[in-house]
């Protein structure tokens, strides 16, 4: 493992690999902790692996009985929340020498597809195949509220960064806005282009595969797959829809210049005024970077393999990708150190 | 290949002629209408006739997400295995309703067809033989229609219920001839062209058919051949079918049954299958689509098996409750299984090397698990069988001799591949 200690200015077009960790099972997702000391990744062997970025030490977290699809952290970095296809939500002491489950909650009937933590650190939200959004006390794991309204599997959830609001997005591209105080649904965002019922395959494909607010809460981005021509082969192109949060209007449809076959995941707004997302599919893994006022990306970087997840470090410069070969790769969006 | 009829005995012809003559008489104005005549024949047919009911999970359902789960292994995926009504037998958690009916069913977990192509795999599994450039073999349903259907059956003996499509007839009977080819009910609708043409009154229709009968009879008296008989038979069958359109109308079933099967296309198709079997159709195939999940296998199997599970389990329970189970062979098959290895896009690809079918009912030992795969499902570990063994088993289960020979253009063709044999321990 190699690393570069200093934090240089962001220059996304100079992205280069700075580290690599290997696990013996294909990886599913990855997250940096808020302190930036660790990177965590979940694997097809049901485990979560924690790597210390300083010394490369790896620690397994074992407690789920199925794939862990999403990881989230308390803003303090003290607690890791994991949601899995066993329907469980597990609270972990993220920094312990050998983390053990602190609370194991049977959160959803069917898969628990996503977990998010409120900016004030008081609430945890989960969504799942039971069409429900659930709110939990972030400390003791007690159920706070159940938000009903989705009519299909709920894929993703995110808290607004400055207001007591929550968004949840489902398979059919319906994004619902919830008032945390009342539990009422306030509005919907139409992300229908991210869903299709394939009449030939006779199945639904798509969903809100990635969701993210800008830091000021003015924009909401939803990523996924569109223009699907063959569901069972995953032949479609990545799309990120950006909404004006206040008006609910769609302000941009971010796509790729080339006809990539894949879906958009790992979408985030960067402080340097760009939106980044990863795509993965038949054409391998890519990092695509857009300006909000341009439909097509201004930068495309091809990763060495398909990827399954991407996350950004708290320093705003580093990225982590998790891939089906069992690798977590660390990247710097900056010029190489002299 | 030109059709030749294996059974040309005088008794056979007479019996058939007699019944068709009766029908024609009824159609020409006798007070006993066709539906009543058919209904009167039903109890006898239902009591003795054997049936074959195939569920074809098109595209290739994953054995790991259905009949042979391997949770906790490198190939197992995210789903858990659940116990069933058979102690010690577990299946995927995606089939909770089916799990409660497993004491009626059995599983063969050791199939190796060595075939990963959709068309060839389907051919293997439905004919019991590999595709051959110089020979064509009939579908299991066509064989069943010929060997199991009573002469008096006013309905086609071989019906496929498919999602979507407009219906039509298949070309899957080979040398048995079009009489035994599948009639497809596109989206569960009645067969095509079974309504009177617009502007044609019933009176006019009766008159033209009476005229046709007279002309046919006149022709037959001097120049009757097997071909003219087949033509007449087809016409008579089509006529009878037109009077039987209600048989294909699942809305005629009680609301409680419609509710139990659920408000889905597949639910209605399962209920229609029950209805067809109850009306004496020998072979029914229900196609469920699609399982060709090269991408996001797990999401798609939640959706597809989520739709499959409850109606299928309801139908199994109904066949048992209605006393039809012991006369109906049920098989859940596909063209192949799916790769144990999960690909980069969370898909599973084609895999004929180690996969499963489920079956039960007529002639089949219940609660059995035949064969096994290794720990992560990549190889057959015990009692390897292929499509040939399965085909023999199906025939034996419904009382058809697999060694029986059809006359295919003067060549005697055994019903099943002589190189294979039935899975004896699976037979009741």
Overall average pLDDT of the B22-42 stretch: 32
Residues of chain A contacting residue B292, judged by C-beta atoms under 8 Å apart: 201, 232
Residue of B nearest to A281 (CA): B345
Residues of chain A contacting residue B340, judged by C-beta atoms under 8 Å apart: none
Radius of gyration of chain A (CA): 19
Q: Which residue of B344, B350, B376 to mutate against A (max A Cβ within 10 Å)?
A: B344
- Is residue B207 in some structural domain? no
Of B122 and B164, more confident: B122
Q: Which of A65, A201, A234 sits opposite B345 (nearest CB)?
A: A234
Contact assessment for residue B1 and residue B408, using Cβ atoms and an 8 Å cutoff: yes
Residues of chain B contacting residue A153, judged by C-beta atoms under 8 Å apart: 302
Residues of chain A contacting residue B296, judged by C-beta atoms under 8 Å apart: 205, 234
- One-character DSSP codes across A53-110: TTT--EEEE---SS-EEEEEE-TTSSEEEEEETTSEEEEEETTSSS--EEEEEE--SS
Alpha-carbon gap, residue B398 to A39, rounded angstroms: 61
Alpha-carbon gap, residue A296 to A259, rounded angstroms: 11
Distance from CA of A336 to the nearest CA of B (A): 30
Of A37 and B189, more confident: A37
Conformational region of residue B298, where left means phi above 0, alpha means psi within -120 to 50, and beta covers everything else: alpha
Residues of chain B contacting residue A110, judged by C-beta atoms under 8 Å apart: 302
Residue of B nearest to A284 (CA): B344
How far the first Cα of chain B sits from its last, in Å, is 36
Domain assignment of residue B126, given as a range: 47-190+249-426
Band of residue B201 on the pLDDT scale cut at 50, 70, 90: confident
Band of residue B99 on the pLDDT scale cut at 50, 70, 90: very high
pLDDT of B33 higher than 70: no
Band of residue A218 on the pLDDT scale cut at 50, 70, 90: very high
pLDDT tens per residue, range A6-45? 667 899 999 999 999 999 999 999 999 999 999 999 999 9
Q: Which of A45, A85, A203 sits opposite B303 (nearest CB)?
A: A203
Distance from CA of B66 to the nearest CA of A (A): 16
Residues of chain B contacting residue A66, judged by C-beta atoms under 8 Å apart: 78-80
- Is residue B386 in some structural domain? yes
Band of residue B2 on the pLDDT scale cut at 50, 70, 90: very low
Band of residue B237 on the pLDDT scale cut at 50, 70, 90: confident
Cis peptide before A311 (omega within 30 of 0): no
- Contact between B342 and A44 using a beta-carbon 8 Å cutoff: yes
Distance from CA of B297 to the nearest CA of A (A): 8
- B294 vs A: CB within 8 A: yes
- Is residue B304 in some structural domain? yes
Residues of chain B contacting residue A199, judged by C-beta atoms under 8 Å apart: 164
- Is residue B228 in some structural domain? no
Q: What pLDDT is attached to residue B200?
A: 86
Band of residue B29 on the pLDDT scale cut at 50, 70, 90: very low
List phi, psi (to 5°) of A263: -125, 155
Question: Please, which residues have CB within 8 angstroms of residue B234's CB and are 6 or more apart in sequence?
Answer: B178, B179
Question: Total domain count for chain B?
Answer: 1
- Is residue B360 in some structural domain? yes
Q: What pLDDT is attached to residue B243?
A: 82
Interface of B with A in 44-63 (CB under 8 A): 59
Average pLDDT, chain B: 87
Q: What is the ipTM of this complex?
A: 0.95
- Contact between B293 and A232 using a beta-carbon 8 Å cutoff: yes
Residues of chain B contacting residue A200, judged by C-beta atoms under 8 Å apart: 290
- Is residue B42 in some structural domain? no
- Is residue B232 in some structural domain? no
Q: Which residue of B286, B295, B334, B376 to mutate against A (max A Cβ within 10 Å)?
A: B295
Q: B270: domain CATH number?
A: 3.40.720
Distance from CA of A63 to the nearest CA of B (A): 13
Conformational region of residue B29, where left means phi above 0, alpha means psi within -120 to 50, and beta covers everything else: left
Q: What pLDDT is attached to residue A115?
A: 98
- B163 vs A: CB within 8 A: yes
Poorest-pLDDT segment among A290-299, B39-48, B69-78, B121-130: B39-48
Band of residue A66 on the pLDDT scale cut at 50, 70, 90: very high
- Is residue B286 in some structural domain? yes
* Binding-site residues on chain A for chain B (CB distance < 8 A): 25-26, 44-46, 65-67, 85-86, 110-111, 129, 153, 199-205, 231-234, 280-282, 305-306, 308, 324
Of B99 and B200, more confident: B99
Residue of A nearest to B304 (CA): A203
Residue of A nearest to B165 (CA): A200
Poorest-pLDDT segment among A120-134, A322-336, B40-54, B371-385: B40-54
Angle at CA of residue B341, ends B336 and B342, nearest 5°: 100
- B74 vs A: CB within 8 A: yes
pLDDT of B9 higher than 60: no
pLDDT tens per residue, range B52-98? 999 999 999 999 999 999 999 999 999 999 999 999 999 999 999 99
């Amino acid at each position: 493992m190699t690393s570069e200690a200093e934090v240089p200015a962001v220059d996304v077009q100079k992205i280069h690999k700075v580290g690599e960790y290997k696990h013996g099972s294909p990886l599913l997702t990855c997250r940096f902790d808020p302190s930036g000391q660790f990177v965590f990744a979940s694997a097809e062997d049901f485990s979560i692996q924690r790597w210390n970025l300083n010394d490369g030490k790896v620690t397994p977290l074992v407690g789920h009985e199925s794939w862990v699809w999403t990881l989230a952290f308390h803003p303090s970095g003290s607690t890791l929340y994991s949601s899995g296809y066993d329907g469980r939500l597990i609270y972990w002491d993220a920094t312990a020498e050998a983390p053990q489950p602190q609370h194991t909650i049977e959160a959803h009937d069917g898969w628990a597809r996503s977990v998010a933590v409120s900016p004030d650190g008081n609430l945890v939200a989960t969504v799942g195949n039971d069409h429900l959004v659930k709110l939990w006390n972030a400390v003791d794991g007690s159920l706070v509220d159940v938000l009903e309204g989705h009519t299909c599997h709920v894929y993703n959830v995110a808290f607004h960064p400055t207001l007591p609001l929550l968004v949840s997005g489902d398979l059919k591209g319906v994004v619902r806005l919830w008032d945390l105080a009342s539990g009422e649904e306030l509005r919907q965002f139409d992300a229908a282009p991210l869903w299709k019922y394939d009449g030939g395959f006779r199945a639904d494909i798509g969903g809100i595969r990635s969701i993210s607010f800008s830091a000021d809460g003015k924009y909401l981005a939803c990523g996924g797959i569109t223009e699907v021509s063959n569901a069972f082969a995953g032949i479609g192109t990545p799309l990120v829809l950006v909404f004006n949060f206040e008006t609910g209007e769609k302000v941009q449809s971010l796509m790729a210049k080339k006809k990539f076959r894949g879906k958009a995941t790992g979408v985030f707004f960067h402080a340097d005024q760009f939106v980044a997302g990863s795509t993965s599919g038949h054409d391998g893994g890519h990092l695509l970077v857009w300006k909000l006022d341009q439909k097509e990306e201004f930068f495309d970087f091809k990763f060495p393999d398909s990827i399954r997840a991407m996350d950004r470090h708290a320093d705003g410069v580093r990225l982590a990708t998790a891939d089906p070969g069992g690798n977590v790769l660390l990247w710097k969006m900056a010029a190489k150190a002299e | 290949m030109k059709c030749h009829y294996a059974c040309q005995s005088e008794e056979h012809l007479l019996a058939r002629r007699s019944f068709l003559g009766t029908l024609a008489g009824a159609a020409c104005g006798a007070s006993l209408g066709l539906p009543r005549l058919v209904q009167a024949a039903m109890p006898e047919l239902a009591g003795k006739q054997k049936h074959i009911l195939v569920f074809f999970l098109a595209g290739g359902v994953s054995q790991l997400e259905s009949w042979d789960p391997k949770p906790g292994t490198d190939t197992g995926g995210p789903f858990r295995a659940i116990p069933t009504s058979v102690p010690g037998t577990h299946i995927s958690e995606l089939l909770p309703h089916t799990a409660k009916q497993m004491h009626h069913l059995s599983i063969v977990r050791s199939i190796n067809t060595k075939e990963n192509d959709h068309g060839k795999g389907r051919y293997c599994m439905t004919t019991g033989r590999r595709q051959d450039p110089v020979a064509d073999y009939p579908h299991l349903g066509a064989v069943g229609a010929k060997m199991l259907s009573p002469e008096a059956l006013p309905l086609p003996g071989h019906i496929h219920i498919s999602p979507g499509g407009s219906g039509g007839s298949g070309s899957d009977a080979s040398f048995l001839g079009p009489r035994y080819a599948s009639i497809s009910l596109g989206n569960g609708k009645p067969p095509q062209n079974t309504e009177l043409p617009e502007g044609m009154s019933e009176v006019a229709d009766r008159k033209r058919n009476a005229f046709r009968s007279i002309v046919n009879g006149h022709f037959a008296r001097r120049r009757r051949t097997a071909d003219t008989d087949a033509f007449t038979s087809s016409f008579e069958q089509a006529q009878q079918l037109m009077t039987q359109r209600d048989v294909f109308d699942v809305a005629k079933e009680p609301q409680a049954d419609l509710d139990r099967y659920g408000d889905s296309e597949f639910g209605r198709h399962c209920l229609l299958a029950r209805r067809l079997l109850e009306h004496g159709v020998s072979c029914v195939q229900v196609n469920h689509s699609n399982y060709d999940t090269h991408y996001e296998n797990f999401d798609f199997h939640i959706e597809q098996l989520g739709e499959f599970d409850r109606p299928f389990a309801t139908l199994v329970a109904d066949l048992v409750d209605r006393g039809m189970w012991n006369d109906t062979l049920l098989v859940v098959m596909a063209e192949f299984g799916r790769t144990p290895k999960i690909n980069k896009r969370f898909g599973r690809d084609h895999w004929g090397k180690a996969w499963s079918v489920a079956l039960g009912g007529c002639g089949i030992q219940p609660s059995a698990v035949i064969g096994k795969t290794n720990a992560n499902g990549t190889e057959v570990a015990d009692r390897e069988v292929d499509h040939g063994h399965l085909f023999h088993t199906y025939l034996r289960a419904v009382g058809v001799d697999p060694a029986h020979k059809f006359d295919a253009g003067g060549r005697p063709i055994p019903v099943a591949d002589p190189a294979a044999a039935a899975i004896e321990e699976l037979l009741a």
